[in-house]
């Protein structure tokens, strides 16, 4: 698998659907053919959607490999199968979500989230980074989240996994700079994917043993409807995130942090405006429990105001 002169080899994890699929296809379809995309997924039986979306780029500027980010052996085998183990751009996209009251979530479920979202990303970076450092060149992209910057109620474990990866990358970026290796975090807010829709539908029907009745009621009757409102009003598409990621890759001086949705900037800023942490905690508490109906109206207005023009403007990391 050659890098083809000026062509950069891009390896992407988690490409069976959603953001990973859209990034893979967008880069493979680059008009100047600047990228050779290695799209990876844990289960190659789920490749049909990617192959269909890739069209005539499949087998040309896009190839497919099996990769499970939770397995040392799988990661090593995948990277070993790349010519000279040469990867110019690593895009860590594979991730899993977890939603609900903590009391009803088992420790094993929590560990699985960290195994994919945190250790899976670290495993990929450990395997690819030494070669990049040796060559004094490379770009590591990590798909984080606004939840890596600001905690969100009932997303406790997912948020923790994203906070962990933010801290890891913030530390790594300093060292990598010395080796001319770039590291960038992509931080989407709500994204409309089948994964999110399916998860919302499933959690609304589930029972939550171990959690008290009030907590379950707050989760199902207050949090879930509010989340749906926010997704409908502020949500981006996987294509939006893919375009943002491509901009970061192609920037001569890529930013370390890249919020994809500028409508979320005030929410993140609020956290840093008050070092005690009280401002953001009490603001989110009031939004959820005291001003629920007001928030619903606000989100409905925002949905009307958020035209395609405004949405296009929110995807730029600049």
- The set of catalytic residues is 158
Q: Confirm or deny that 54 is annotated as ligand binding.
A: no
Q: What is the DSSP string of 134-153?
A: HHT--EEEEE--GGGTS--T
| Both tokens assigned to 271 | 């956290």
What is the H or E stretch that residue 208 is in? none
Q: Confirm or deny that 128 is annotated as ligand binding.
A: no
Beta strands in 146-208 (DSSP E): 182-187
Q: Confirm or deny that 259 is annotated as ligand binding.
A: no
Q: Confirm or deny that 228 is annotated as ligand binding.
A: no
Q: Confirm or deny that 244 is annotated as ligand binding.
A: no
Q: What are residue 37's DSSP bridge partners?
A: 10, 62
Residue that the structure tokens 């183990």 belong to: 85
Q: Confirm or deny that 14 is annotated as ligand binding.
A: yes
Q: Confirm or deny that 192 is annotated as ligand binding.
A: no
Q: Confirm or deny that 222 is annotated as ligand binding.
A: no
Q: Confirm or deny that 15 is annotated as ligand binding.
A: yes
Q: In a 3-state reduction of DSSP, which class is residue 301?
A: helix
Is there a contact between 125 and 133 (Cβ–Cβ < 8 Å)? no
Q: Confirm or deny that 23 is annotated as ligand binding.
A: yes
Q: Confirm or deny that 43 is annotated as ligand binding.
A: no
Q: Confirm or deny that 156 is annotated as ligand binding.
A: no
Q: Confirm or deny that 44 is annotated as ligand binding.
A: no
Q: Confirm or deny that 19 is annotated as ligand binding.
A: yes
Residues 6+ apart with CB under 8 A from 290: none
Is there a contact between 45 and 74 (Cβ–Cβ < 8 Å)? no
Q: Confirm or deny that 16 is annotated as ligand binding.
A: yes
Burial class (CB in 10 A: 0-12, 13-18, 19+), 241: buried
Is there a contact between 265 and 259 (Cβ–Cβ < 8 Å)? yes
Q: How many Å separate Cα 76 from the centre of its chain?
A: 23
Q: Which residue pairs from 156-164 have beta carbons closer than 8 angstroms and sit at least 24 positions apart in sequence?
A: 156/102, 157/98, 157/102, 157/105, 157/109, 157/110, 157/113, 157/114, 158/97, 158/98, 158/99, 158/113, 158/117, 160/114, 161/113, 161/114, 161/117, 161/118, 162/117, 164/114, 164/117, 164/118
Q: Confirm or deny that 37 is annotated as ligand binding.
A: yes
Q: Confirm or deny that 88 is annotated as ligand binding.
A: no
Q: Confirm or deny that 269 is annotated as ligand binding.
A: no
For the annotated binding site for NADP(+), the residues are: 14-42, 68, 162
Binding-site entries for substrate: 145
Binding residues: 14-42, 68, 145, 162
């Amino acid at each position: 698998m050659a890098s083809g002169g000026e062509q950069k080899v891009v390896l992407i994890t988690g490409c069976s659907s959603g953001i990973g699929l859209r990034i893979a296809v967008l880069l493979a379809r680059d008009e100047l053919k600047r990228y050779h995309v290695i799209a990876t997924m844990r289960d190659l039986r789920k490749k049909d959607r990617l192959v269909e979306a890739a069209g005539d780029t499949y087998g040309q500027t896009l190839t497919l490999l099996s990769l499970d980010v939770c397995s040392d052996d799988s990661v090593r085998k995948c990277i070993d199968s790349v010519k000279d183990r040469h990867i110019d751009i690593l895009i860590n996209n594979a991730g899993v979500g977890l939603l609900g009251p903590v009391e009803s979530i088992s420790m094993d479920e929590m560990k699985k989230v960290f195994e994919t979202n945190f250790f899976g990303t670290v495993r990929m970076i450990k395997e690819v980074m030494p070669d990049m450092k040796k060559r004094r060149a490379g770009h590591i992209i990590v798909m984080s989240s606004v939840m890596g910057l600001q905690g969100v109620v009932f997303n406790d474990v997912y948020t923790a996994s994203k906070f962990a990866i933010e801290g890891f990358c913030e530390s790594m970026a300093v060292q990598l700079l010395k080796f001319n290796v770039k590291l960038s975090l992509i931080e989407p807010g709500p994204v409309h994917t089948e994964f999110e829709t399916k998860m919302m539908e499933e959690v609304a029907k589930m029972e939550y043993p171990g959690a008290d009745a009030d907590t379950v009621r707050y989760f199902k009757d207050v949090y879930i409807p509010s989340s749906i409102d926010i997704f409908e009003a502020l949500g981006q598409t996987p294509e939006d995130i893919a375009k943002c990621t491509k901009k970061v890759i192609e920037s001569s001086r890529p930013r370390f942090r890249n919020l994809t949705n500028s409508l979320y900037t005030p929410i993140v800023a609020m956290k840093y405006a008050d070092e005690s942490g009280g401002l953001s905690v009490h603001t989110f508490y009031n939004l959820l429990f005291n001003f629920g109906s007001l928030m619903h109206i606000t989100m409905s207005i925002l949905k009307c105001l958020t035209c395609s023009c405004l949405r296009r403007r929110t995807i730029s990391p600049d």
